[in-house]
Amino acid sequence: MKHLFAFLLLLVPLWSLPSLSAQTQAAYLRSTVGQPWNSATNNTIMDDVFGAGSWSDLRYETVDIATLLADHTLLFMEGSDDNANELETFLTTHRPAIESWVSNGGNIFFNAAPNEGNGMNFGFGGISLSYNGSNNTGTARAYDVSLPLCNGPFLRVLANWSGNSFAHATISGPGMDTLVVDLSNASRVVVASKNWGAGRVIFGGMTTVNFHSPSSESFNLRRNILESLKFNPVPLDAGIVSVDSPRVFCAGPHDIEVTLANLGLDTLFDVTVNWEFNGVAATPLMYNTPLDTFGSGNNTESLVLGTENFVAGQLYTIKAWTTNPNGMADTVNFNATSTVVVSPGLAGTYTIGGATPDYPTFAAALADLHTFGVCDSVTFNVRNGTYNEQLEFLSVAGAGANSPIVFQSESGDSTQVILSFLTTPVRPTIRSCSTVSTG
């Protein structure tokens, strides 16, 4: 029997003044243990995107962090197969420096489809990789076919891809934009992105593309992910870099708040901000206050687009994008749009298992906790039975001393609720349940 305790996790991002990088200097990092699954497809993709001989091929165990960050503007950090523990160790050691580098304008593609470990904390305000060794994604789809990764410059891409497996892990955490999801369960996010200061991070749980089908389209997806991180500023460029609110919230009316950024080298005097709520176009906002240039530190503005009502248990898609900066066409479109899926945070009492439950399994309950957070105390009443699940309790936005998360036996008889394969780096309260670790 294991006794588990309530938790509170504070997420404090590290911010610094952004700086301007005019040229993309890319590096691919992996472990000295070898290529994931002995596949060199990542190297081929780096050649395709950055040019053969025009990028650095480095190792976690030997690279100097100061030199790495000083000499590069884009990093592809691979943690798949037996590279996962090495990536996690590197991140744990150097996370503050890496987060500061991104805040200053660096861009990173983290990708990890592990065959070791139990997931990892990427950082960047609580973005986590969930991996349990069995819950893989066979077929994935683009969350929105209008996303840049589906629209070039490498084509064709298609809207869904299969694999054996396509992904070993999922991504969760606050403030991220969904890019690719499990075809059968859209709450399982396979690829996501997050803006961090003047930089951007893409997080993935995908296997190498030699496992994916159709082959050429899968290569193009990976190429376009890296291409979207190549950012050489042009004179005129604007975008919505994040949908900021609501993110962790209770049901009811809430403002839709976004961050507009001038991503160009010229002052932005006016731009049209368009937005949709659950696919329905809303009235655009005409912005006409000058914004300083990219790299100045004064190139963003928080905007309230409108107010919408949110009902508990419902998913809502918020999409916002810019057009016509300074009355001209925006020639750089990959960074114009931000899209998020949100739902009011959990609050109150829910059931797990048995007949007509709120959640059939612990994993289903955890998926909503990790994706939407909580806005008040949450109690899960677990019906009698054996739950043969390997679980990892990651950080839950909104959880704390005043909003605890409790799992308890609905019958009050701890011998009638058995949970096996439990792993909990961050631990909620479990009452009146028997927990058995068998692996």
Which pLDDT tens digit goes with each residue over 205-248? 999 999 998 888 899 999 999 988 886 667 898 988 888 899 88
Whether residues 415 and 325 fall in one domain: no
20 assigned to some structural domain: no
Do β-strands 252-262 and 271-277 pair in parallel, antiparallel, or remain unpaired?
unpaired
Residue 431: predicted pLDDT = 52
- The answer to whether the predicted template modeling score (pTM) of the entire model surpasses 0.85 is no
- Number of domains, the chain: 3
Q: Is 437 a residue whose pLDDT tops 50?
A: no
Q: Indicate the average pLDDT of the chain.
A: 85
Number of residues that make up the chain: 439
Rounded CA gap, 184 and 212, in Å?
A: 17
Do β-strands 185-196 and 177-182 pair in parallel, antiparallel, or remain unpaired?
antiparallel
Whether residues 324 and 382 fall in one domain: no
6 assigned to some structural domain: no
Q: Is 423 a residue whose pLDDT tops 80?
A: no
9 assigned to some structural domain: no
- The mean per-residue pLDDT over the stretch 157-172 comes to 89
Structure tokens at 435: 């927990």
5 assigned to some structural domain: no
- The mean per-residue pLDDT over the stretch 148-167 comes to 82
* DSSP string for 149-181: GGS-SS----SEEEEEEEES-EEE-TTPEEEEE
Under a CB-based contact definition with an 8 Å cutoff, are residues 339 and 177 in contact? Answer: yes
Do β-strands 280-281 and 337-342 pair in parallel, antiparallel, or remain unpaired?
unpaired
Last residue of a domain, one of 294, 310, 342: 342
Whether residues 413 and 365 fall in one domain: yes
Whether residues 249 and 392 fall in one domain: no
Q: Which residue range is the domain that position 112 belongs to?
A: 26-227
Measured between alpha carbons, how far is residue 230 from residues 66, 108, 109, 326, 332 in Å? Answer: 21, 10, 11, 24, 11
Under a CB-based contact definition with an 8 Å cutoff, are residues 31 and 82 in contact? Answer: yes
pLDDT in tens, 264-305: 889 999 999 999 999 999 999 999 999 998 767 688 899 999
- The mean per-residue pLDDT over the stretch 392-407 comes to 83
- The mean per-residue pLDDT over the stretch 95-106 comes to 91
